[in-house]
Amino acid sequence: MQLNAGCELHFNAKETTPLILMLRPRSGDGQWIIKEEYHITPVVNVTEFTDMYGNLCQRVIAPEGPFSINFSATVQTADDIDVVLDAPYTPVENLPDEVLHYTLPSRYCQSDMQGQLAADITKDSMPGYGQVEAIRSWIHSNIKYQYGTSNASTSAVDTANSRVGVCRDYTHLGISLCRALNIPARMVVGYLYKLDPMDMHAWFEAYVDGRWYTFDATQDKPRGNRITVAYGRDAADVAFTTQFGDMELNTMSVWVNAVDEAEAEKKAPEPATVPDASGSTSQTTTAA
Protein backbone atom coordinates (compact mmCIF):
# COMPACT_ATOMS: atom_id res chain seq x y z
CA MET A 1 0.00 0.00 0.00
CA GLN A 2 1.15 3.51 -0.74
CA LEU A 3 1.25 5.68 2.33
CA ASN A 4 1.73 9.36 2.78
CA ALA A 5 3.38 9.97 6.10
CA GLY A 6 5.00 12.92 7.71
CA CYS A 7 5.48 15.13 10.67
CA GLU A 8 5.50 18.79 11.51
CA LEU A 9 7.44 20.18 14.45
CA HIS A 10 7.34 23.69 15.83
CA PHE A 11 10.14 24.75 18.12
CA ASN A 12 11.07 27.92 19.86
CA ALA A 13 14.81 28.48 20.22
CA LYS A 14 15.87 30.72 23.08
CA GLU A 15 19.40 30.74 21.72
CA THR A 16 21.22 29.68 18.59
CA THR A 17 20.89 25.89 18.72
CA PRO A 18 22.55 23.15 16.67
CA LEU A 19 20.25 20.24 15.86
CA ILE A 20 20.66 16.81 14.40
CA LEU A 21 17.56 15.49 12.63
CA MET A 22 16.84 11.93 11.60
CA LEU A 23 13.64 12.29 9.61
CA ARG A 24 14.40 11.17 6.08
CA PRO A 25 13.66 7.50 5.36
CA ARG A 26 15.77 5.65 2.80
CA SER A 27 14.59 3.47 -0.02
CA GLY A 28 15.55 -0.17 0.18
CA ASP A 29 14.71 -2.76 2.82
CA GLY A 30 11.24 -3.27 1.36
CA GLN A 31 10.21 0.36 1.04
CA TRP A 32 10.43 2.71 -1.90
CA ILE A 33 10.29 6.48 -1.42
CA ILE A 34 8.24 7.74 -4.36
CA LYS A 35 8.02 11.33 -3.27
CA GLU A 36 9.28 13.41 -0.42
CA GLU A 37 9.34 16.98 0.82
CA TYR A 38 11.48 18.48 3.53
CA HIS A 39 10.89 22.07 4.58
CA ILE A 40 12.75 23.91 7.28
CA THR A 41 11.62 27.40 8.29
CA PRO A 42 13.37 29.79 8.39
CA VAL A 43 15.59 28.69 5.51
CA VAL A 44 18.97 27.68 6.94
CA ASN A 45 21.95 25.83 5.61
CA VAL A 46 21.56 22.06 6.00
CA THR A 47 24.16 19.34 5.59
CA GLU A 48 23.45 15.64 5.50
CA PHE A 49 25.55 12.65 6.42
CA THR A 50 25.15 8.91 6.82
CA ASP A 51 25.77 7.59 10.30
CA MET A 52 27.37 4.27 11.23
CA TYR A 53 24.04 2.46 10.88
CA GLY A 54 23.34 3.86 7.41
CA ASN A 55 20.77 6.41 8.59
CA LEU A 56 20.55 9.78 6.86
CA CYS A 57 21.13 12.57 9.39
CA GLN A 58 20.61 16.27 8.80
CA ARG A 59 22.57 18.95 10.66
CA VAL A 60 21.22 22.45 11.02
CA ILE A 61 21.72 25.43 13.28
CA ALA A 62 18.47 27.02 14.41
CA PRO A 63 18.64 30.77 14.96
CA GLU A 64 16.94 32.29 17.99
CA GLY A 65 13.17 32.35 17.59
CA PRO A 66 10.55 30.11 16.05
CA PHE A 67 11.87 27.16 14.08
CA SER A 68 9.77 24.60 12.27
CA ILE A 69 10.27 21.43 10.31
CA ASN A 70 7.84 19.78 7.94
CA PHE A 71 8.70 16.44 6.42
CA SER A 72 6.44 14.24 4.35
CA ALA A 73 6.91 11.25 2.09
CA THR A 74 4.86 9.03 -0.14
CA VAL A 75 6.14 5.52 0.28
CA GLN A 76 5.36 2.13 -1.20
CA THR A 77 5.16 -0.21 1.81
CA ALA A 78 4.63 -3.91 2.33
CA ASP A 79 1.14 -4.81 3.51
CA ASP A 80 2.37 -7.65 5.70
CA ILE A 81 5.38 -8.51 7.77
CA ASP A 82 6.90 -11.96 7.55
CA VAL A 83 5.90 -14.35 10.30
CA VAL A 84 7.82 -17.63 10.34
CA LEU A 85 7.12 -19.31 13.63
CA ASP A 86 9.68 -22.06 13.17
CA ALA A 87 12.55 -19.92 11.86
CA PRO A 88 15.51 -21.34 13.77
CA TYR A 89 18.05 -19.60 16.00
CA THR A 90 21.21 -18.51 14.19
CA PRO A 91 24.22 -19.63 16.23
CA VAL A 92 26.65 -16.81 17.04
CA GLU A 93 29.38 -18.37 14.94
CA ASN A 94 27.16 -18.00 11.88
CA LEU A 95 26.21 -14.36 12.41
CA PRO A 96 27.59 -11.95 9.81
CA ASP A 97 30.36 -9.71 11.16
CA GLU A 98 28.27 -6.57 10.85
CA VAL A 99 25.41 -8.04 12.90
CA LEU A 100 27.54 -9.04 15.89
CA HIS A 101 27.38 -5.68 17.67
CA TYR A 102 23.61 -6.04 17.93
CA THR A 103 24.22 -8.76 20.55
CA LEU A 104 25.89 -6.27 22.90
CA PRO A 105 24.20 -4.40 25.75
CA SER A 106 23.52 -0.72 25.12
CA ARG A 107 22.34 2.35 27.07
CA TYR A 108 18.70 1.36 27.40
CA CYS A 109 19.02 -2.38 26.82
CA GLN A 110 21.11 -3.85 29.62
CA SER A 111 20.93 -7.38 28.31
CA ASP A 112 23.78 -8.37 30.63
CA MET A 113 21.33 -7.96 33.53
CA GLN A 114 18.28 -9.69 32.09
CA GLY A 115 19.48 -13.22 31.34
CA GLN A 116 17.28 -14.80 33.97
CA LEU A 117 14.10 -13.02 32.88
CA ALA A 118 14.75 -13.90 29.25
CA ALA A 119 15.31 -17.55 30.16
CA ASP A 120 12.11 -17.68 32.21
CA ILE A 121 9.96 -16.15 29.48
CA THR A 122 11.28 -18.41 26.74
CA LYS A 123 11.72 -21.67 28.62
CA ASP A 124 9.07 -23.46 26.52
CA SER A 125 9.91 -21.77 23.21
CA MET A 126 11.63 -23.05 20.12
CA PRO A 127 15.09 -21.43 19.75
CA GLY A 128 14.91 -18.55 17.27
CA TYR A 129 11.71 -16.91 16.12
CA GLY A 130 9.79 -18.80 18.78
CA GLN A 131 11.84 -17.22 21.56
CA VAL A 132 11.45 -13.74 20.14
CA GLU A 133 7.71 -14.16 19.72
CA ALA A 134 7.45 -15.40 23.31
CA ILE A 135 9.27 -12.25 24.43
CA ARG A 136 7.09 -10.00 22.28
CA SER A 137 3.92 -11.64 23.50
CA TRP A 138 5.02 -11.53 27.15
CA ILE A 139 5.72 -7.80 26.90
CA HIS A 140 2.40 -7.20 25.18
CA SER A 141 0.57 -8.98 27.98
CA ASN A 142 2.60 -7.82 30.97
CA ILE A 143 3.53 -4.22 30.30
CA LYS A 144 0.81 -1.61 30.55
CA TYR A 145 0.81 1.01 27.81
CA GLN A 146 0.60 4.44 29.37
CA TYR A 147 1.89 7.85 28.33
CA GLY A 148 3.84 9.88 30.86
CA THR A 149 5.17 6.93 32.83
CA SER A 150 8.67 6.94 31.42
CA ASN A 151 11.25 9.50 30.34
CA ALA A 152 14.49 9.86 28.41
CA SER A 153 16.40 7.86 31.02
CA THR A 154 14.06 4.90 31.35
CA SER A 155 15.75 1.62 30.44
CA ALA A 156 14.68 -1.97 29.85
CA VAL A 157 15.57 -2.86 33.42
CA ASP A 158 13.38 -0.01 34.67
CA THR A 159 10.49 -1.16 32.49
CA ALA A 160 10.82 -4.77 33.61
CA ASN A 161 10.41 -3.46 37.13
CA SER A 162 7.68 -0.86 36.62
CA ARG A 163 5.68 -2.92 34.08
CA VAL A 164 4.50 0.26 32.39
CA GLY A 165 5.69 2.37 29.44
CA VAL A 166 5.25 3.47 25.82
CA CYS A 167 6.40 2.03 22.49
CA ARG A 168 9.98 3.04 23.15
CA ASP A 169 10.01 1.13 26.43
CA TYR A 170 8.31 -1.94 24.92
CA THR A 171 10.97 -1.91 22.25
CA HIS A 172 13.90 -1.58 24.63
CA LEU A 173 12.67 -4.44 26.72
CA GLY A 174 12.16 -6.64 23.67
CA ILE A 175 15.65 -5.89 22.40
CA SER A 176 17.30 -6.42 25.74
CA LEU A 177 15.65 -9.80 26.32
CA CYS A 178 16.63 -11.01 22.84
CA ARG A 179 20.25 -10.01 23.30
CA ALA A 180 20.30 -11.77 26.67
CA LEU A 181 19.73 -14.94 24.60
CA ASN A 182 22.44 -13.96 22.09
CA ILE A 183 19.84 -13.08 19.49
CA PRO A 184 20.83 -9.85 17.70
CA ALA A 185 18.14 -7.20 18.03
CA ARG A 186 17.88 -3.60 16.89
CA MET A 187 15.53 -0.67 17.33
CA VAL A 188 13.50 0.67 14.42
CA VAL A 189 11.82 4.05 14.45
CA GLY A 190 9.33 5.23 11.88
CA TYR A 191 5.65 5.27 11.02
CA LEU A 192 2.89 2.69 11.35
CA TYR A 193 -0.35 3.01 9.42
CA LYS A 194 -3.40 3.25 11.69
CA LEU A 195 -1.34 3.48 14.84
CA ASP A 196 -3.72 4.65 17.54
CA PRO A 197 -3.13 7.24 18.87
CA MET A 198 -1.09 8.42 15.90
CA ASP A 199 2.52 9.32 16.73
CA MET A 200 6.06 8.55 15.72
CA HIS A 201 6.51 4.89 16.47
CA ALA A 202 9.21 2.43 17.54
CA TRP A 203 9.47 -1.34 17.24
CA PHE A 204 12.26 -3.88 16.95
CA GLU A 205 13.82 -6.40 14.64
CA ALA A 206 15.47 -9.65 15.65
CA TYR A 207 17.93 -11.64 13.59
CA VAL A 208 16.98 -15.29 13.28
CA ASP A 209 17.47 -17.84 10.51
CA GLY A 210 19.92 -15.57 8.71
CA ARG A 211 17.75 -12.43 8.38
CA TRP A 212 15.95 -9.68 10.26
CA TYR A 213 12.30 -10.13 11.28
CA THR A 214 9.95 -7.39 12.49
CA PHE A 215 8.34 -7.52 15.96
CA ASP A 216 6.05 -4.99 17.61
CA ALA A 217 5.08 -5.61 21.22
CA THR A 218 2.57 -2.76 21.24
CA GLN A 219 0.29 -4.51 18.74
CA ASP A 220 -1.91 -7.52 19.31
CA LYS A 221 -1.23 -9.03 15.90
CA PRO A 222 1.42 -8.75 13.14
CA ARG A 223 0.89 -5.61 11.05
CA GLY A 224 2.61 -4.32 7.95
CA ASN A 225 2.43 -0.88 6.32
CA ARG A 226 5.39 0.44 8.22
CA ILE A 227 7.88 3.09 7.14
CA THR A 228 11.34 2.72 8.60
CA VAL A 229 13.11 6.01 9.25
CA ALA A 230 16.16 4.77 11.15
CA TYR A 231 17.85 1.78 12.78
CA GLY A 232 20.01 1.74 15.86
CA ARG A 233 21.08 -0.15 18.95
CA ASP A 234 18.50 1.72 21.04
CA ALA A 235 16.86 5.12 21.41
CA ALA A 236 20.21 6.80 22.06
CA ASP A 237 21.06 6.20 18.39
CA VAL A 238 17.78 7.08 16.75
CA ALA A 239 16.27 10.26 18.16
CA PHE A 240 14.22 12.03 15.49
CA THR A 241 15.67 15.31 16.69
CA THR A 242 18.52 16.12 19.03
CA GLN A 243 18.87 19.73 20.16
CA PHE A 244 22.09 21.03 21.69
CA GLY A 245 20.75 24.17 23.26
CA ASP A 246 17.82 25.84 24.96
CA MET A 247 15.01 25.08 22.56
CA GLU A 248 11.43 24.15 23.21
CA LEU A 249 9.24 21.85 21.16
CA ASN A 250 5.82 23.50 21.18
CA THR A 251 3.79 21.26 18.92
CA MET A 252 4.39 18.13 16.94
CA SER A 253 1.99 16.60 14.43
CA VAL A 254 2.31 13.18 12.85
CA TRP A 255 0.22 11.67 10.08
CA VAL A 256 0.07 8.47 8.08
CA ASN A 257 -2.58 8.22 5.38
CA ALA A 258 -3.30 5.73 2.65
CA VAL A 259 -2.58 7.57 -0.57
CA ASP A 260 -6.11 7.31 -1.96
CA GLU A 261 -7.57 8.49 1.27
CA ALA A 262 -4.98 11.24 1.43
CA GLU A 263 -6.01 12.50 -1.94
CA ALA A 264 -9.70 12.23 -1.18
CA GLU A 265 -9.58 14.43 1.86
CA LYS A 266 -6.70 16.73 2.61
CA LYS A 267 -7.38 16.71 6.29
CA ALA A 268 -5.23 18.69 8.65
CA PRO A 269 -2.71 16.68 10.64
CA GLU A 270 -3.58 16.14 14.27
CA PRO A 271 -1.22 17.26 16.99
CA ALA A 272 0.58 14.45 18.74
CA THR A 273 2.28 14.31 22.10
CA VAL A 274 5.06 16.63 23.03
CA PRO A 275 7.75 14.71 24.94
CA ASP A 276 8.91 16.16 28.25
CA ALA A 277 12.22 17.92 28.20
CA SER A 278 14.93 15.69 29.55
CA GLY A 279 17.21 17.01 32.25
CA SER A 280 20.29 16.94 30.04
CA THR A 281 21.77 19.78 28.04
CA SER A 282 20.84 18.00 24.85
CA GLN A 283 17.22 17.13 24.33
CA THR A 284 15.78 14.58 22.03
CA THR A 285 12.45 13.85 20.43
CA THR A 286 11.89 10.14 20.25
CA ALA A 287 9.21 7.66 19.38
CA ALA A 288 6.34 6.98 21.71
Site residues for a second copy per CB under 8 A: 18, 20, 26-29, 32-39, 43, 45-52, 54, 56-59, 61, 76, 91-93, 97-98, 100-101, 103-107, 109-113, 115-116, 152-153, 180-182, 236-237, 244, 278-282
Position 215: which residue type? Answer: F
- For residues 87 and 40, is the Cβ–Cβ distance under 8 A? no
Q: Which is nearer to a second copy, 28 or 148 (CB)?
A: 28
* Min separation Cβ 195 and a second copy, Å: 25
- For residues 29 and 14, is the Cβ–Cβ distance under 8 A? no
* Min separation Cβ 13 and a second copy, Å: 13
Strands 2-13 and 247-258: antiparallel
Q: Which is nearer to a second copy, 109 or 262 (CB)?
A: 109
Position 20: which residue type? Answer: I
* Min separation Cβ 220 and a second copy, Å: 30
Q: Which is nearer to a second copy, 176 or 214 (CB)?
A: 176
Interacting residues of 36 by C-beta distance below 8 A, sequence separation 6+: 24, 25, 71, 72, 73, 74
Q: Which is nearer to a second copy, 250 or 278 (CB)?
A: 278
* Min separation Cβ 80 and a second copy, Å: 15
* Min separation Cβ 221 and a second copy, Å: 25
- CA gap 277, 31 in Å, rounded: 32
Q: Which is nearer to a second copy, 33 or 164 (CB)?
A: 33
Q: What is the DSSP string of 76-114?
A: E--SS----TTPBP--GGGS-GGGGGGGS-BTTB-GGG-
